[in-house]
Every structure is written in structure tokens, then in C-alpha cells.
Structure 1
């Protein structure tokens, strides 16, 4: 294996496992410790990896989307408030969509006692959370996106139009009044666009840090969104602006 091929494989492996020990890498790549260290030193000098005790990890970008592990614990109190508020919009007998995101994942915790509820999702954590409940689940089929623990679906892999979704709960990375909701990943955005087209009601579950951000891929303008559920950190001026829009801004304060 050429040095460039080894270095790419190291980055690919770290993309899946996040942290790797030196013995793991020497076994996986079938190289000596000295050869591995030369590769690691080069990747470190390029700012792609960071050495830690006994191993290495990927350098986290200051820009772009943070990892799912980080987002699962970041702003957790706010996300739990948002999830509880979202659960109030879900009734017995509904067919809902729960998106693959750290906030929509929290919603799953508050709907286990709903009667005759069907949840359509592309989120592996949501499926795991609801596995031992009586909630009926439909998993969207497609390609596994390991870092997001989600399934990316395309029209040729999954027949979206067979779904009859009453309410969709969508995540995003950015919200502006001018551009609407946006996200970093094109493939995730494609799935969200399709679900927004199909759902009778669309709710965006997003903490207040998402406002004012317009990131890589536009998912939908605000006039396609029925309500945005957020935490009390939303600025007062923003609340006033939403009073003039079709989209409701719902503050989850408890």
C-alpha cells in the first residue's frame, strides 16, 4: 500500500471510530510502528489528526457541522424542553416522522406512551429508543451514514410517496427569515426536502443557537414550515419578526 493510500485509510478509519490506538492501526494497515509513525507525523503536521495518549483522533473543524456525539450532549437541557413541547403536538393515532438529529431524538423519549402511534424515521438512535415500546416503527431504507447514525434515502431506493405522514419533526443547522432552514449535508437535506413535501404539518425542532445561521444547503423556505419549536434563548426581536410570518415560533419554556 502506498503512503497516500495508507494515510487516506487512516482518516477513513478515524471517520468511523473517532479514536484509534497505535496497535489497532498497525494491525489494520499491516505496517511497522515506524512506518505508521511517519504517516501519523505527516497527518499531524497537515492538521488532519491529533495525537493523544497511546493513539490518535481526528482534528475537529472549527467550522461546519459538529459530530453527533457532541450534539447529543450539547445544549441538552434546551433540547429536552423542545422535545417535551414537540410531544404535545403529537396525538394518539398519529403517523409522524422523526428526523435524524440530536433534538428530534429527544422527542422519542416523550412519546412512548402514545396509543396507536406510528413513527417513520431515518434515525438509528430513535429506533433504538423506541424498540421496546408499543410504537409502530417504519425505518426508511437506504445508505447508512455512520457518523450521523442515520439512513440516507433516495427515490430509487425508497418509495417516499407511499408514506402518509401527518406531522414531520425536522432538524436543521441554520435558520434565517430570508433563506429558511438549511443544513450542512446534501444527502440529509434531500431526505428532509422529500419529507417536507409529503407531510401535512411540518415542525422544525431547533435550539436558539441555530437562528441567524445560513449554512451550506437550503432545505426549505419558512413558508413551507408550520412551526419552529425552540428554547427561551430566542431573541425578543426575533419573536416579534415571526409574528408577521405564516410560520409560528413556539417557545418551549418548561
Structure 2
């Protein structure tokens, strides 16, 4: 059979393998060098599908080496295509969620977030987003929900556990804890204040009890506590001075450079303060870095430092340490269950006074 010559090129989708039979190409000829073939190029009556099958079989049998071993560039391109195809399919499968899963996952994810934060103590928003394969905005909404339910504490850039040492309790929470013990300590502290003294009361809930029990004496009271300012505002004989500065809404305390600058102008004779924990090796600590810095500055300025804390703070550590035990002139505390726990502290603190606690608080 004679194959006619064609003036026009074949369509781009033509079968190149069939051309090997019709144009009698030599075995081993690369596929790209075989002329393009299309059924329309065959003489009339030769466009039977059998012709295509035979031509393909002939091409494979005569050019087996070329068909089985493509060149390196071709193999690299094929490998890339398969790699991206598998990657795309894996991405689609991994991101697919059924409607039922989408309805259940938020509650399950929030439970897992609470468990993670309680186990680690704290976690960042971006780390939680990567852990649960969701967006940062989704984690932020989850943290807001969990914070409103009281399961964790929302912080800038993440969240912390309820009992984490860096967690700063609100003023309302602190004021109702161990209230009878704080009142007993405050009564003893008021007895130590003399007329015309210049005293500083920090923003703790224990020293707030001092402000409530303080009589209308002729003295100067400095404080960075908004609650203490409100309590003492009606005492006409007391010269009341607020530090000013940046107000922290949770603790209702003024902090910052303005507050410290105000305190530096005064000769503070007695400094009444508390903390979130007292440790034999590290000293006294606070959960707030700003308040710890302010108290450290007042310790440097005051003549006498009087620390008030009940025995629940004994051997506890918060996030930020601000005072060494040697800086404390007097420690007012309630008796612990084991009095021997105080023996190591007596070697470092000048004076420790035990204030009997009401029976219903033990």
C-alpha cells in the first residue's frame, strides 16, 4: 500500500505510534522525530481501528528500547508531575471534613485546648493554631469562649491555666480569699502606725484591710491602690497621696514610671506590703511584673519594710521576685500547721511576728 504525501500537518492530537507503521520509520527512532499521524491521512478504507492497533504494536516491537527507557529529562518531568499530583491529592484528603465533623470539632478542640494549657501551664495562640490545624482567628475565638466560661485566663498572645504562677487574680478574687486572716494581720499593722508617720500601702488586698481599719490620724498615706484611695478619701486628718500612673484594671493598681517618680519625692518611713509567695531561697514574689518593679523601688526608699502574708503563701513562688528576705524588717504572718517551717526564715528576716488567726479560718 502506497502512502500519499500530505501538504498539511496533522492535528496535534494525532497518534504518533500509528505513524511508525504507516510511514515505515526505522526501529529505535525517538518518538518526537516520528511524523504526526491522523486517521484522515490514510487512504480511503484504511481508517479502520484495527490499523491503529497494529501500528501501535509494530511501533512497540520495533522500538522497544526507546519506549521503555525515556531520556533523563523526560523521566524528571514525569516524576515532577506525579509528585505534584500526589501532593495535591493528599492536601485535598487531609483538609476534607464531613459536615458532621465540622459540627463536632469546635467543642472537641476547645476541650483539647483546656487540657493542653493545664498540662503546660500556658500556651501561645500561634502554637495552638499549628497544633490543631486551624487559623489563629479560630483559636482566639476559642480562647475567648473558654475565658468567659472560667476554664482558663486569656492573656496577650495566648492563655494560661487558672492556677499558673503568672496568673494575676482580679481585685475581687483577692479580697474574698482568707479574709479573716487578712483582717487579723491588718489589725496588728495598724497598731504599728504612729501619728505623723509617712507610710506607703501597696495595692494588695491585705493592705486594703489596713486602709479600712486605719483611724483618722494625722499622718501621710501614699498608695498606688485605687481601692485604698476610695476608702481613705473621707478621712479628713489623713494626708492622702495617690501615686498616679498607668491603671491596671484587673488589680486596680497604678504602676509605671509616673508612680515611681511620685514615690521618690517622699521620705517613706514604713512600707506595708504583701506578695503572692515567699520562698526561702528566692525571696518574695509577685504575679505582676509592673507591681514587682514598683515594690522593689519602694523597698530601696523606705526606712522600714513590713511584710504581711498569711501562712498559705509560705514556700510559694510566683513569676517575678522583687525582695530578698534580708530586706524585710518585720514579717506579720499567721501560724502554720507546722511551726518548724518558719525556723529557716528566722535566720534571714529580722523579726517574725505570729498573729493568731480566727478559729473558723484554719
Fold equivalence (TM over 0.5): yes
Quote how far apart the aligned CAs of 1:46 are. 7.6
Q: CA RMSD in A?
A: 2.4
Which secondary structure does the structure 2 equivalent of 1:148 belong to? coil
Greater RCO structure (CA 8 Å; 6+ sep): 1
Q: Greater CA deviation, 60-69 or 125-134?
A: 60-69
Higher share in strand: 1
User: Which residue in 1 is equivalent to 2:171?
Assistant: 68
Deviation at 1:224, TM superposition (A): 0.7
Preserved contact between residue 142 and residue 158 of structure 1 (Cα < 8 Å): no
Distance 2:182 2:312 in 1: 11
8 A contact 1:44–1:50 mirrored in 2: no
In structure 2, the residue matched to 1:131 is: 233
Give the CA deviation at 1:47.
6.5
Give the whole-Å Cα distance in 2 for the aligned partners of 1:194 and 1:204.
Answer: 15
Which whole-Å CA distance do the structure 1 matches of 2:279 and 2:288 have between them? 17
Change (3 A) 1:47 1:238: farther
Q: Deviations over 1:18-61 (max 9, x none)?
A: xxxxxxxxxxxxxxxxxxxxx8997347863345xxxxx67452
Larger Rg: 2
TM-score, normalised via structure 2 length = 0.54
Which of 159-168 and 115-124 deviates more? Answer: 159-168
- Kindly indicate whether the alpha-carbon contact (under 8 Å) linking 1:43 and 1:49 is maintained by their aligned counterparts in 2: no
SS in structure 1 of the partner of residue 261 of structure 2: coil
C-alpha displacement at 1:157, in angstroms? Answer: 7.0
Q: Give the structure with the larger helix fraction.
A: 2
For residue 331 of structure 2, what is the aligned residue in structure 1?
228
How has the CA–CA distance of structure 1 residues 109 and 157 changed in structure 2, closer, same or farther, with 3 Å as cutoff? closer
Spell out, residue by residue over 1:36-91, the C-alpha distance to the aligned partner (whole angstroms, 9 max, x if none): xxx8997347863345xxxxx67452223322211100100000001111111111
- 5+ residue gaps, structure 1, are 1-38, 52-56
Aligned CA distance change for structure 1 residues 43 and 221 (closer, same or farther; 3 Å): same
